[in-house]
A and B are shown apart, each in its own frame.
Chain A
Amino acid sequence: MNIKITKYYYGDIPEETTSSPSSKPNTVDLGWPLWEVFIRSKQGLDHKHAGSLHAADAAMAIENARDVYTRRQEGISIWVIESKHIHASNPDDATMFYEPSADKIYRHPTFYDLPDEIKHM
């Protein structure tokens, strides 16, 4: 038997998949796409990735995110983006991508004195 396994890196899902609906990555039976959720916890801070969820459209994704990710007062603002629009680096490239920076400590601004009053640096 010839089984073709297609591996997708996180979020990097092609627009059309040729396989049957049940083997579509990141979709449930309803056929709702996957969305990535970003939550801003308070004014002045960045939106941070909180997780992902299923929804039929952007409006529903925001409401689902409100119900799933802010029910314990985690946020004051929500961004959602369909997962297929996110492109991820290839884990196979990790060695050449990230390891060369390991021995270059001179790139860290650790030689400056920061005043105590400055937060979130």
Chain B
Amino acid sequence: MINQKTINATLHLADTTLILAQKNSEWCAHGPILEQDIAITNITLDLIGQSRMFYQYAAELINEVENKNETEDTLAYFRSEREFKNFLIAELPNGDWAQTILRQFFFSCFHQLLFEKLQHIEDKQISAIAVKSLKEINYHVKWSSEWVIRLGDGTLESHSRMVKAIEILWPYTGEFFNAEENDLIEVKKIKSNWIQKIEAVFFEANLLIPGNVFMQTGGKQGIHTEHLGYILTEMQSLQRAYPGLEW
């Protein structure tokens, strides 16, 4: 049965990886070293690929229910800020390499747990996308975990940068587990597993999870930080100026 709930959930999955990919792609040609430049852009391409599959599915559902002509492109390029349902953490500025790595680590660990659940849900299309994406996500977790350890347990400078990144990003991790009516799984149930993953890597990295801090929310409901508007303006500029342009 197709309903608005599935459409919203699919768009949330697509939007989060698209916006994160858009941010990560800013590292292209600016990575700290050629090999890591390729690594982060490979991950970015994985995320865009996952977004495309979810947008294609969302377009199919929307067209069936509302008799529209949506495509993956119209969903990515012609929706506004309030219509995007991505997690706030995806739209935050990249900061330094430590901050980008930590965001990828926090998100990929969540992504992994989420998709492990999604591969068993009833919706065949979403479960198939989850199975396919998990192979990529498992590598994202491995890659980002090793970087968190490398920087956290590295020099005084790299350690202090990780500590600063944790301060900035931690308040945006609570949103992962904020239950909402459109959720496909019970997100609260994966929270303790996520904390365990983070703790295990932080232990090796000589880093600490912050105490009780206020958690930011709103992304899933379309209430965003001031950053998303700028991201969309840039990302959508070509299609807004030349609708339907192909290359």
Partners in one complex: yes
Residues of A within 8 A of B (CB): 28, 30, 32, 53-56, 59-60, 63-64, 67-68, 71
The 0/1 profile, CB within 8 Å of A marked 1, for residues 135-154 of chain B is: 00000001100100010000
What are the 3 closest A-B residue pairs judged by CB atoms, nearest first? A64-B35, A67-B39, A67-B38
Say whether A59 contacts B35, CB under 8 Å: no
| 27 examples of A-B residue contacts, CB within 8 angstroms | A28-B33, A30-B33, A32-B33, A53-B34, A53-B35, A54-B33, A54-B34, A54-B35, A55-B35, A56-B150, A59-B146, A60-B146, A60-B150, A63-B39, A63-B142, A63-B143, A63-B146, A64-B35, A64-B36, A64-B38, A64-B39, A67-B35, A67-B38, A67-B42, A68-B38, A71-B38, A71-B42
Q: How far is the CA of A69 from the CA of B69 in the complex (A)?
A: 40
Q: Interface size on B (CB < 8 Å)? A: 12
B244 at the interface (CB under 8 A from A): no
Say whether A30 contacts B32, CB under 8 Å: yes
Q: How far is the CA of A30 from the CA of B35 in the complex (A)?
A: 12
Residues of B within 8 A of A28 (CB): 33
Taking the nearest CB of chain B, how far is it from the CB of A74, in angstroms?
14
Residue among A54, A56, A63 with most chain B CB within 10 A? A63
Taking the nearest CB of chain B, how far is it from the CB of A117, in angstroms?
36
Q: How far is the CA of A50 from the CA of B38 in the complex (A)?
A: 16
Q: Which chain B residues numbered 24 to 51 have a C-beta less than 8 Å away from chain A? A: 32-36, 38-39, 42
Residues of A within 8 A of B32 (CB): 30
Residues of B within 8 A of A30 (CB): 32-33
Residues of B within 8 A of A63 (CB): 39, 142-143, 146
Chain A, Cβ-Cβ closest to B143? A63
Residues of B within 8 A of A53 (CB): 34-35
Residues of A within 8 A of B142 (CB): 63
Residues of A within 8 A of B33 (CB): 28, 30, 32, 54
Not counting A30-B32, A59-B146, a sample of 14 additional A-B residue pairs whose C-beta atoms are within 8 angstroms of each other reads A28-B33, A30-B33, A32-B33, A53-B34, A53-B35, A54-B33, A54-B34, A54-B35, A60-B146, A60-B150, A63-B39, A67-B42, A68-B35, A71-B42
Taking the nearest CB of chain A, how far is it from the CB of B145, in angstroms?
11
Q: How far is the CA of A30 from the CA of B36 in the complex (A)?
A: 12
Chain B, Cβ-Cβ closest to A55? B35
